[in-house]
Structure 1
Amino acid sequence: MNQDRLRLDLADLADEVTPVDLRDRALRTSRRLGIQRAVVTSAAALLVLAAATGTALAIRPDGQAPAPAVPSVTSTPPPPQVTPTPTVTPSRTPSAGPSTTTGGGPAGATFGRLFYGPSPTGDDTSTAGHLWSFQPGSQPTRLAKLPRLAAILNAVVSPDGSRVAWVDPDENLWVADVDGGNPRKLTPGGHRQVEQDCWTPVWSPDARRLAISVLLPTAPALTWEKGVVELTTGKYTPISEIQGCHPVWSADGKVLAYADGEGRVAVNRPDGTAEKLIPGLGVPGARSSFDVASISPDGSRLALLLRKPDEPAGDVARELDANAVIDTRTGRQVQLPLGGRPLLQAAFRDDGTLVARVGAGDHNVLVLIGADGRKISESREPATLKGQQILQVVG
């Protein structure tokens, strides 16, 4: 895609202000078995509802607003602000089954290492949830033990696969090694309470920072503020106001994407200064999305869960299922070589390849797709991972 066209698109932002009623959405019927009651009654959810009642707005800036009063979010001297520039590019478990290679991608391309956590629809009623890692051709490995709700709702594995961050049911932010070692509780900017359901933690591409949302106990109402915390120094930096849920951060560091709470999806700079709604989502009679799962390295494509116009939105909690990949400039769906099998999840890697998880009866299959849209290979996923959801793909 021509980068100048995208800059013009971002400059041509609408100037209206549209209310976003996250409270209404959070009260709608949830399709996520096993966590609905816990999400709706959690302390964080109640605080989100209180804040959303008075302040939840999706702002479409016109490009003429004053510059934000906070610096660009980085741990080193900030570079010049850059508009997002997506471009269109065509325990005891059985071992994995054999892979099938079909060509169409770079020589030697592999799936890398996948990280899993418990699924919202799993049958396990325990209070703990484990992370797992898996590489096709080997057996799954059990990793850190987390609070089960945190593992489902907000746990995120770093892009380098070394650490996991999560928010526990008491709204404390934690970071640890993926095997559970070296756990550390953080209080970003002195704020103890961190959002666990809506604007959940997301890693920066360099795995040195986390974008989060902290609670500001200000009068007359409690308010959530989005910001970034540097893990080495603990420094916390607020970012420009963004209203939305479930952010993902592109590997090139230039694009933040998120659902706005009304069925629309936006792309933005990581400092929050250039929001652009993706066309065709959340408008009357069209598809909507409240859950964004993964973003391509240059921000040109998103894997997400699209809902039909009459399909319930669910609650405000994170859902990592994906049934489509779309172009962020046009909103059009990208065709994937899945052989007619249903897409369950999709995760972009930092080399532009896509790992698609598709259903195949009592097990799932992983399909590796090149940046050119052609199938590279596929591998059978162990049946024991069927009740887990993919959190991250590394390498």
Structure 2
Amino acid sequence: MKHWALASGAALAVSAVSLSAALAVPAQAAPAQAAPVQAAPAQAAPSRTAPAPLRGKGIYLGYGSGVRLTAESGRTLWTDRSRSGQFAVSPDGGKVAWIDARGRVHVSALTGTGRSDKVIATGAAYVGPCMTPAWSPDSKRVAFALAGDGTRTTVAAAGAGGGGLRRLGTTSGPCHLTWSADGRTLAGYAGTTEGVHLLDTASRTSRRVPGVKLVNHVASLSPDGRRVVVNTLSPRDDAGDGSWPAAFTPSVYDTRTGKKIAIPVAGRLLDARYLKDGRLVVRVAGRSANTLVVLGPAGERLQTLAEKPRNRRLGLLQITG
């Protein structure tokens, strides 16, 4: 059964009502200690220096009359009532890239005191919420799908300050693009939701990830592009319109073999994503506050942090520290 996530002019389908539905059922127990690991969620090389502990800082997402981005403190950072949904926050948490109805790519500062806005490129696809731009791991470049026809979409990147426009290649998976920390790979899902595709920015070639059938969200790539975090669908599921989800059940796949990798965290999982150093952060539902569980390269539990209760029903869009 085919789904189609790219409805022209689609409004944001993830309303406050659907957000509440996604997060309405509280967890019955606090996250348990990790079970013995069956397989490593990542293939990151061991670091000679231990990474700094995560502090739980992030950018949160809420829907209502448009989109509202907030800091973990609850302070509003950015609002958008255009309802296009085509936006993404930089890894450093300082900027948001967004696409307007004229296909212009903007970069705005997340200051909370009004927009410091710059148009960095034109000709972007303005189709529906799933065609979000993607930030490079150093927060210096923005990748985006170019407008056009056909089953394969050209992806380009421009500097966050403007200039340096370069085509990166074509892919059949332009939805919810995410960039690996080594800068080599972009991953996205097909507009029909049929599969995840990887775009190699060096060779400018793309391929489909084996083993992954229907998805409507690509959340993250491991630093080397060997693991991908997605939201999978069954043929009976509603694909939605591709808006940023407030919560999803994460699945991790090996992008070469298509093997599904177990996430050794108990509880109701709401999100998962890789950090630049290869650690996997898993968001777990809680009764009064959600929890972030940080896993090491071998799946070992490194850290557990409680989020602020005020953010329990919001989506976690970006982890910044």
TM bin (shorter chain): 0.7 to 0.9
C-alpha distance in structure 2 between counterparts of 1:206 and 1:269, whole Å: 18
1:229: Cα distance to partner? 1.5
C-alpha distance in structure 1 between counterparts of 2:271 and 2:82, whole Å: 20
C-alpha distance in structure 2 between counterparts of 1:352 and 1:251, whole Å: 9
1:185: Cα distance to partner? 3.5
C-alpha distance in structure 2 between counterparts of 1:392 and 1:332, whole Å: 26
**SS of residue paired to 1:344:** strand
Gaps of 5+ in 1: 1-20, 37-85, 91-104, 120-124, 135-139, 283-287
C-alpha distance in structure 1 between counterparts of 2:269 and 2:100, whole Å: 30
> Which residue does 2:314 correspond to in 1?
388
**SS of residue paired to 2:302:** strand
2:286 to 347, 351, 360: 360
Question: Cα deviations across residues 307-330 of structure 1 (Å, max 9, x unaligned)?
Answer: 224323233444363422222222
Distance 1:273 1:108, change over 3 A: closer
1:373 to 278, 299, 304: 299
Matched, 1:256 2:186: yes
C-alpha distance in structure 2 between counterparts of 1:275 and 1:147, whole Å: 33
1:258: Cα distance to partner? 0.9
C-alpha distance in structure 1 between counterparts of 2:313 and 2:82, whole Å: 15
Name the structure, 1 or 2, with higher relative contact order (CA <8 Å, separation 6+). Answer: 2
Structure 1, 375-384 or 347-356: larger mean CA deviation: 375-384
Distance 1:113 1:314, change over 3 A: same
- Percentage of identical aligned residues: 28
> Which residue does 2:197 correspond to in 1?
266
1:115: Cα distance to partner? 1.3
Give 1:118's aligned amino acid: G
> Which residue does 2:237 correspond to in 1?
311
Larger Rg, first or second structure (1 or 2): 1
> Which residue does 1:175 correspond to in 2?
107
2:141 to 202, 205, 209: 209
Contact residue 6 and residue 129 of structure 2 kept, 8 A: no
1:228 to 137, 148, 157: 157
Distance 1:108 1:276, change over 3 A: same
Distance 1:224 1:370, change over 3 A: closer
C-alpha distance in structure 1 between counterparts of 2:239 and 2:224, whole Å: 28
1:210: Cα distance to partner? 0.7
C-alpha distance in structure 2 between counterparts of 1:378 and 1:325, whole Å: 20
Matched, 1:34 2:54: no
Q: What is the RMSD of the two structures over their aligned residues, measured on CA atoms?
A: 3.5
Give 1:328's aligned amino acid: T
Q: TM-score scaled by structure 2?
A: 0.76
Tell me which protein shows more strand as a share of its residues.
2
2:65 to 104, 123, 126: 126
1:131: Cα distance to partner? 2.0
2:57 to 110, 113, 125: 113
1:156 to 85, 88, 94: 88
Tell me which protein shows more helix as a share of its residues.
1
Distance 1:111 1:337, change over 3 A: farther
